[in-house]
Amino acid sequence: MSGRAGRLRPVPIDPTAATADTPLLPRYGERSLAEVLPAVLAALGVAGAGAPDGPVLAPVRAACVLLVDGLGAELLAAHPADAPFLTGLAEAGPLTVGFPSSTSISLASLGTGLAPGGHGIVGIQFDPGDHELLDSLHWTRRNADGGSDDQRAHLVPELVQPTPTALQRAAGDGITVSVVAPSFQRESGLTRAALRGGRFRAVHALGDLAARVVTALEAPGRALCYAYHADLDLLGHLHGPGSPAWRWQLRQIDQLVATIHEQLPPDAMLLVTGDHGMVTVTRSYDADTDDAMQLGVALLGGDARARHVYTRPGATADVLAVWTELLGDDAWVTTRDEAVTANWFGPLGPHVASRIGDVVVAMRGGAVVVRTTAEARLARLIGQHGSLTGAEQLVPLLVSGPRG
């Protein structure tokens, strides 16, 4: 039995709007991940919460947002037999995730209620302002030995992303807030930057994830829970989205959500969403072996489907021309100013513009720009994400409860 949907303003997204020639632009302020938690806060009775043109959910006492890493709307729609419970839930989406469509950017948008241009975590790897790349997933930097160094003391997460989170806002309104996630995320740089404000509850597998969520929603008074599951994304990367391994993991997630639904308090709501979809790699360009791709480039950030190209002084026009010619129909290649004007990142906050590459690259089809030396593991992955295609941008927003 599926739960009753919250009311949502009718702002449809047409997946066919993204074509080989036209990117699917994020619907910031209307239908993006950034509007989810503000809508939940409004449903929990927080005054002034919710975006004017964003989702409107039914009032509840308690709510959980379960983010399934890698749960794309198109992938879910293509495999209904593997997710009958999820498919039967009320659909209040799809949503766009923002650009780049990768985990750290999406989690920051969800956690802060801001587009990437507002929270400033603009790539998996980006220059925060000191001309070195920060790995925003792990909050590290590569060292001279090829390893990585923790940057939480040098690049304090609360300063890199200073805006109070939606979880902090909820706690400040007297709501009991829980974060249910793998233990390695406790006090991680990304958690501190994007999801600070709740009591962290570490989990190890699907069973204790379900138990922790239900316990959080059963707390007396108003309660908000954010929960995270990572393994669908992992198997998509390793085996490809839609592969048998990916599908069988989707079946386990379907059972997870059904289990939580069965135990939901009658005045609680569960929302299920994702942080991006995924595509299968069909063609690779290697920036570490192609001399032309290195000309004029000071730093190469982002990830395989969305690159920030930081150029040497005076080299932007030449780099733009070379990358445009080399990638051809496999990418949208533009300048920082053009990407900002086209609203790829949403409204920019202070000091965010310089974090965006001088040249910005969003890949089309199944093409990727890899770095086989600097990012050897990433370069081998079968499934990738980060760009402006419908397969990567669109995620579901599924609603269970409240039950009358």
Q: So where are the chain's domains? A: 15-124+137-278+389-400, 283-384
Residue 303 DSSP one-character state:
B
Specify the pLDDT at position 19. 53
Averaged pLDDT for residues 233-237: 98
Cβ atoms of residues 299 and 310 within 8 Å: yes
| Residue 234, both tokens | 């992992």
278 backbone dihedrals φ, ψ, rounded to 5°: -165, 150
Specify the pLDDT at position 220. 94
Specify the pLDDT at position 394. 98
CA–CA separation, 49 and 42 (whole Å): 5
Averaged pLDDT for residues 231-258: 98
Task: Give the tens place of pLDDT for each residue, 371-385.
Answer: 999 999 999 999 999
Considering the segment(s) 283-384 as one domain, its CATH architecture is: 2-Layer Sandwich (3.30)
Averaged pLDDT for residues 140-145: 90
Averaged pLDDT for residues 147-159: 96
Specify the pLDDT at position 401. 83
CA distances from 265 to 57, 261, 297 (A): 17, 9, 55
User: Chain-wide mean pLDDT for the chain?
Assistant: 93
Cβ atoms of residues 108 and 192 within 8 Å: no
CATH 3.40.720.10 is held by the domain 15-124+137-278+389-400:
yes
Task: Give the tens place of pLDDT for each residue, 190-215.
Answer: 999 999 999 999 999 999 999 999 99
CA distances from 356 to 6, 300, 382 (A): 36, 11, 26
Specify the pLDDT at position 146. 80
Q: How many CB atoms lie within 10 A of CB 42?
A: 19
Does the pTM of the predicted model rise above 0.85?
A: yes
CA–CA separation, 125 and 122 (whole Å): 8
Q: Is the peptide bond before 350 cis (omega within 30 degrees of 0)?
A: no
CA–CA separation, 330 and 306 (whole Å): 12
